[in-house]
Structure 1
């Protein structure tokens, strides 16, 4: 179940548009806070701010850019209300010339708006190696260390949420033993950078989803990759699985962590495209639907650890040249996919 993000072509279009200010809105009131234990005061402050003030609505999201550029498209009002006006993640990878400048400007915008930004770090060497649709990343371990250090340094002590390296710990099927070890080491290095340079950032290491890898394997990889240094882990990034499936998997991962003598961790879930669940196809499937908007809090009375539901994948972005968008490269915005995703068609 691979996840796709912004391509260099899409990124160049983003860079050409001036920043505008949007007011973050949420379609419904946030549920009660999660019962997952808050590990630090800084994390509690960031969660509290996100719950009281909301997450940042990215004025440069691909859906927002489409709305601005296509006011006369009959689909535009639906895309504006269903996607563009809602908080979602901005993905950052090797397509940005200066990661420090790009991340810094995005967090600046959120700070001015008084909101909490959602970001993704996506530039690990051999990125998406087993699928290839979103292949790339930094060309060496040394370059990645510099890249992620600059990334964390650009956030500074400001509140933020970062999902760290989607696919990296779940997508092991074509990696050598040396590549797996290097990947875990690099993610651990990243956690140390955020802990030191961005202490108010909630970092969630991507942990795949319930259909991607075994919970025991994911727990082992998270342990080696420094999960103790960060807030927790992320589930269902760019995928379609239901909350029930993913909370069961989150519980299994936490139980596996506990069996290794590790602390159980809070986790977040990508709800951008799970409104109708999964139909067995991961690449631009039909009939999928957006899920609940980005928010803090869990409705689970048992307190499984689910503390935030966030839109990480940009609904409407192609997963690759496949499925319902055979001519749309990974990461490019397809208005018909977006429109159908909003309506569940």
Structure 2
């Protein structure tokens, strides 16, 4: 029986789709291609172009394939943008998740894996977030994802579906074979932006905030390689297939790197000393956000393979050079 992956032609989704195909799953991707690319589906997975706001098309898709498992990635993900365009995020993230969950209930889906975010935590007092930490998002992006988690929790309780909500920390890097990676032209991911600056595609990198209460004054994030994040989804799927109960799980490494440390690493890997310019803080950015990620290892049996900033940057750099033609 095929697995449905919404947003499967995007950055994270395409890595998960590839790993699912390599593990022997039949995958159907549903994507509006606003930030996704058909050629990211390297194993010939079936691509259905459509939007989650189109409930009639969504219903027909479920009728055609009879999915019992859904992995849901499709969403808007830029936290600062959500502050200035909140309705876009509540529409694309929360309302469209409601539409998808409605189809899942109607057609008897058994398992659901949700692409959530560490932004649901807001600003933890210690800068470290565990799954039991308070969820106090500071921007509409985090709120839209938390509202989706609440809906998913209640649907599972009412209808017997089981789910895993994976709360991502800062995803970076690319497929080590450079078959896929982050391609969104307006991307705001620090590692991608820094690689573009090293390639001369950007004039500079802005350091948004240098007065945070951190060792070097810049924000600290838990950067996780996209390949490790993708493998956590397969571990979550295996967990549900074995009868695991609904849960929420952080996916990060449990250690952080500052903005300056990331920029220095990109300079070292690329061999290019590009310009980094200090700028005011952005709205919606916490000073520090690092995962407490024990549950992924103990409950899912997840073992990361790429827990190294230099490896993450090197794979991102290889990908950026490929797509830029350098």
Normalising by the residue count of structure 2, what TM-score does the alignment of the two structures yield? 0.36
> Higher RCO, 1 or 2 (CA under 8 Å, sep at least 6)?
1
Normalising by the residue count of structure 1, what TM-score does the alignment of the two structures yield? 0.35
As a proportion of its length, which structure holds more strand? 2
